A and B are shown apart, each in its own frame.
Chain A
Amino acid sequence: MTHTELPFPGLSSGLASVPVAEAPQNRKEFTSDQEVRWCPGCGDYAVLAAVQGFLPDLGLRRENIVFVSGIGCSSRFPYYLDTYGMHSIHGRAPAIATGLATSRSDLSVWVVTGDGDALSIGGNHLIHALRRNVNMTILLFNNRIYGLTKGQYSPTSELGKVTKSTPMGSLDNPFNPVSLALGAEGTFVARTIDSDRKHLTSVLSAAAAHRGTALVEIFQNCPIFNDGAFDAIKDPETKQTAIIPLVHDEPIRFGADGAKGIVRDQVTGSVKVADVADVGEDALLVHDAHAADSTTAFALSRLTDAGYLNQAPIGIFRQVEHPTYDDLAREQINTAEAGADETSDALTGLLNSGDTWTVV
């Protein structure tokens, strides 16, 4: 098999080819007339409010925005936004969005999914969307439980989780969605929290602007079946030591008065938490989200607790430029079309290609 050097079309913003609105838009215009039907206290409300609030700021035409979801509580999301939307089937939203984004460069395509939808039944589509780097933004609502089916453990539930389907504790190791996305060659991988409106909005804005697949894991509380799963990072008492904030080009530092920080582990080559007083400020790792190599981003993702969540890095782990599948696919079509004759007889020419003979 031969290998062809693909052209690099030159990356622009993820929204560069989407038409902009002529007049400013407001939150109300993006709110559909449907009654929101999540449980009281559900973290999804906060995310919806944030998205409804920041979509007008993107300045895109509302009709050029599409939300595609799978199945699960979070997948009701498209019904509540007055954009184009599709509530599809379990796990398949990334595949459906791939077809949509590839055939339409003028759309801003969003996928709304959950930990069960994206990582269990739809795991295959998620990793392939990430490696292809299709221009779409995936919001992965992670509540570490199955909500819509009423409380079974999910692929992000901690080992030993006692649920309806695992009365003696769950037996499977959980996925770390950020590690998974980085391993699948994700070009934009971030994590944020439902209750932190400001951080959520800033991460979503960066994700929308990214050209390629952007995956945003949103820690989201399920008050009915997994309440308190993220208390450590939400409680004002503990959150300073629980959240490891990742800010590009800044030393990674956290804890009360920034007493803790992340340093390179000289033994393993990975990273580890250290007391700043012991190692000195200069030893702190400066976060580089744009590093071409994802090794350090992956190492940072491993600082997330796999069991009950007492500590987790929050922010943009990785944000790099890489050609997108859909841009390259359109580029090939443009190249082929440019070389073809423009006559309306192209189909006649095709049908009459090959060895033909004429009977008179």
Chain B
Amino acid sequence: MTKQVKQLDRVIIRFAGDSGDGMQLTGDRFTQETASFGNDLSTLPNFPAEIRAPAGTLPGVSSFQVHFADHDILTPGDSPDVLVAMNPAALRANLGDIKKGASIIVDSHDFTSRNLKRAGYPENPLDTDALDEYFVHDFDLTGMTVEAVKEFGLSRKDASRAKNMFALGLLSWMYGRPTEPTIDFLEKRFARVADIRDANVTAFKAGWFFGETTEAFVVQYEIKPAPMNPGTYRNITGNLALSYGLIAGSTQSGLPLFLGSYPITPASDILHELSKHKRFGVTTFQAEDEIAGVGAALGAAFGGALGVTTTSGPGLALKSETIGLGVMMELPLLVIDVQRGGPSTGLPTKTEQADLLQAMFGRNGESPVPVIAPQSPTDCFDAAVEAVRIAITYRTPVVLLSDGNLANGSEPWRIPDVADLPPIDPAFATEPNHTGKKGDEFWPYLRDEATLARPWAVPGTAGLEHRVGGLEKVDGSGNISYEPANHDFMVRTRQAKVERIAESIPPTYVDDPTAHDSQGARVLVLGWGSTYGPIGAAVRQVRKTGVFVAQAHLRHLNPFPKDLGEVLKRYDAVMVPEMNLGQLSMLLRAKYLVDVVGYNHVRGLPLRAAELADAITDLVEATAHAADDAPLNADTVDAHKEAVR
């Protein structure tokens, strides 16, 4: 039968099921189909810390949200238009997030009294009026899958496991997704097990055909490809982009990459990925603990390698002392912290950006470390290359703060031309640099005047034998010194070296269409890290209502861009949305004496753009009122700010 085709500009779908139902794979395949179709997209995987929580329970629910559109989008979306729920627990766990009027596709097979009870439903919601505000399509997806694949003679259990592919096929039909990539994928993935391969492909096709033939769906949707700049694209997660960025940093600098790491969620995928790329001279060392991971990386750096360690918050805590040693020895070292919910073990699989102050100050003594953060999954590539540049150029540990949202989320990536990547020169010392009593000498702490970086002489270089360590040194010769004035000088010099990095970073980019208008934006929204997407989406929503607002996002958290203080003072109010209790706010207040307004949520999930848009609008209004009450009264501003908090 011929079905109606309806145009949409964007859709948010959430696939939800039990941890063992393959929802991450289903979402990932739908995403790949969508990427190759040419939509812009953004994804949000959300899974429990338990590998397999008891089947059918709320803690065991795993979901994957994908937002795709015919235009440029910034976030995985606040609220799904379509929920695919493979069991009662998946329905119950996700119902609160979806809009009234949204579609819910339910596998009714698992709506047994036992599973309903496990999910906490006293009655079957499919039989009551509980879902009246939604468009509910309930089918026995499992039953149809088992029927479709019976020719392959699988056990009922194995046959029913292909139900996720049936669901994928159905959704692929609904949104006109190309099927070839998924069929190719399944044929490769299960190449060695013919019956499983055939069952999955058959279930996938059966889901498609079901959509095409069933009278339950009268409409097929079309979301046209999004206009994108010319280039070659792929879909990529933050952890993968970050891994590629590290390899690019290695090839650009000519230094072999040495990763010392200990498995920890959500950073482990970087270890897994880099272990596949030994042909780039990459060594991956799975250490006995977090401390050994960073220690080995620092040892390799002493030997002239690009030393990298990857971790998450609790691991960063353990690495503190070694990072401090790197600060003292002034050696390049990359510390990648894929932040998760804290404190302590916290929320291992959820996102947060509450390690900023740990990265800044989590060491003994005055121990300055450059800190940078990517703003989106694809930006993890560029941020990694930038971290390598800073570490090598300035001979310093660098902390790169990713987070769980960036790590597992994905978006289309315009693949860069390798020729456009910045060159990175390790500039190893090869000659003595000082003339002493006995003639030519090598002084390991004789600094470059421009960067304040010390010379990096690696073992094997004749005539430059020297010793470094954690004890304070004399500037220049590097000999041990406990002399008071020298220590004061060295503390200030290490700080000055990190501040000097600001000379090499671009000025703050402020997105303010009204910058040259005297009646323009009076409020700046400033963020860092993965909040870029929700802040950008919120700012767009606010501007659509005719309200002026400026936006800026920080890549460099330490040092800040040189012009940041001046930028902040250009606006009457600055809002800083963060997934913490105000860590960037604290740094900005301390450094610039600007009373920024925090917008803070720590729910383990990305900020919601719609809520943030309301808060921005409120602040813009409060700021305008405060300005009207001239002369500006600090109490009034505070009262207004209080009102919007």
The answer to whether B258 and A103 have CB atoms under 8 Å apart is yes
Other-chain contact of B302, A34, A61, A96 (Cβ < 8 Å): A96
Report yes or no: A359 in contact with B233, Cβ–Cβ below 8 A. yes
Known A351-B416, A354-B234; contact A104-B465, beta-carbon cutoff 8 A = no
Give the tally of cross-chain contacts (CB within 8 A): 202
Asked whether any CB of chain A lies closer than 8 Å to the CB of B498, the reply is no
Tell me whether B299 and A97 are in contact (CB under 8 A).
yes
**Is B467 within 8 A of A32, CB to CB?**
yes
What residues of chain B lie closer than 8 Å to A124, measured between beta carbons? 288-289, 292
Q: Is B581 located at the chain interface by the 8 A CB criterion?
A: no
Residues of B close to A11: CB separation below 8 A: none
Asked if residues B459 and A102 are in contact (CB atoms below 8 Å), the reply is: no
Q: Are B277 and A358 closer than 8 Å at their CB atoms?
A: no
Asked if A99 and B285 make an inter-chain contact with CB atoms under 8 angstroms apart, the answer reads: yes
Is A125 engaged at the interface, CB distance under 8 Å to the other chain? yes
Q: Is B418 part of the contact surface with A, judged by Cβ < 8 Å?
A: yes
- Which among B228, B292, B459 is the interface contact of A66 at CB below 8 angstroms? B459
Q: Which residues of B contact A62 (CB under 8 A)?
A: 462, 465
When distances are taken between beta carbons in the complex, the residues of chain B under 8 Å from A286 are none
Cβ contacts under 8 Å, B251 to chain A: 346-347
Closest Cβ of chain A to B411, distance in Å, is: 14
- Contacts A86-B469, A96-B298; A358 near B460 (Cβ below 8 A): no
| B300 CB within 8 Å of chain A | yes
Mark out the residues of chain B between 424 and 476 whose CB falls within 8 Å of any chain A CB in the assembled complex. 459-471
B256 within 8 A of A: yes
Cβ–Cβ contact A64 & B470, under 8 A: no
B244 at interface (Cβ–Cβ under 8 A)?
yes
B contact residues, total (Cβ < 8 Å): 69
Q: Give the residues in chain A near B462, CB-CB below 8 Å.
A: 61-63
> Roughly how many angstroms separate A95 CA and B321 CA in the complex, as a whole number?
13
Taking a contact as CB atoms under 8 Å apart, the answer to whether B281 and A347 are in contact is: no
- Are A107 and B234 in contact, CB atoms less than 8 angstroms apart? no
Q: A34 CB to closest chain B CB, in angstroms?
A: 7
Q: B247 to A329, Cβ gap below 8 A?
A: no
Residues of B within 8 A of A333 (CB): 278-279, 281-283
B216 at the interface (CB under 8 A from A): no
Cross-chain contact B230 with A98 (CB below 8 angstroms): no
The answer, among A63, A78, A89, A95, for a CB contact under 8 Å with B459, is A63
Contacts of B418 in A (CB 8 A): 345, 347-348, 351
Contacts of B541 in A (CB 8 A): none
With A107-B460, A351-B418 already in contact, the answer to whether A358 and B285 are too (CB < 8 A) is no
Tell me if B36 counts as interface (CB < 8 A to partner A). yes
Are the C-beta atoms of A352 and B234 separated by less than 8 Å?
Answer: yes
Alpha-carbon distance A321/B248, docked complex (angstroms): 38
Q: How far is the CA of A71 from the CA of B325 in the complex (A)?
A: 12
Q: Hey, what's the 0/1 contact readout for B243-280 against A, CB within 8 Å counting as 1?
A: 01001100100001010100000000000000001111
Q: Which residues of A contact B282 (CB under 8 A)?
A: 333
Closest to A19 in B: B460
Cα distance, A125 to B417, chains bound together (Å): 42
- Are A95 and B278 in contact, with the CB atoms below 8 A? no
The answer on a CB contact under 8 Å between B232 and A63 is no
Is A336 an interface position by the 8 A CB rule? yes
Establish whether residues A86 and B258, one from each chain, have CB atoms under 8 Å apart when the complex forms. Answer: no
Is the CB–CB distance between A103 and B300 below 8 Å?
yes
Question: What's the minimum C-beta distance from B406 to chain A, rounded to whole angstroms?
Answer: 18
Q: Is the CB of A350 within 8 A of B277?
A: yes
A333 to B283, CA, bound (A): 7
Q: Using CB atoms, name the residue of chain B closest to A337.
A: B279
By the criterion CB–CB under 8 Å, are A336 and B479 in contact? no
A107–B298 alpha-carbon span in the complex (Å): 16
When distances are taken between beta carbons in the complex, the residues of chain A under 8 Å from B232 are 352, 356-359
Q: Mark B276-317, 1 if CB is under 8 A from A, else 0.
A: 011111110101110110011111111111010000000000
Contact between chains at A63 and B461 (CB < 8 Å): yes
Q: Given contacts A63-B464, A99-B298, A333-B279, could you give 11 more A-B pairs where the C-beta distance is less than 8 Å?
A: A63-B461, A63-B462, A85-B469, A89-B321, A92-B322, A96-B298, A99-B307, A103-B299, A125-B291, A350-B247, A358-B233
Q: List 5 A-B contacts (CB under 8 A).
A: A64-B459, A87-B468, A88-B325, A96-B296, A106-B460
- The 7 tightest CB contacts between A and B, nearest first, are A87-B469, A99-B296, A99-B299, A95-B295, A336-B278, A96-B299, A95-B292
Residues of A in contact with B (beta carbons under 8 Å apart):
19, 32, 34, 61-66, 68, 71, 78-79, 82-89, 92, 95-104, 106-107, 124-125, 128, 329, 332-333, 335-337, 339-340, 345-348, 350-352, 354-360
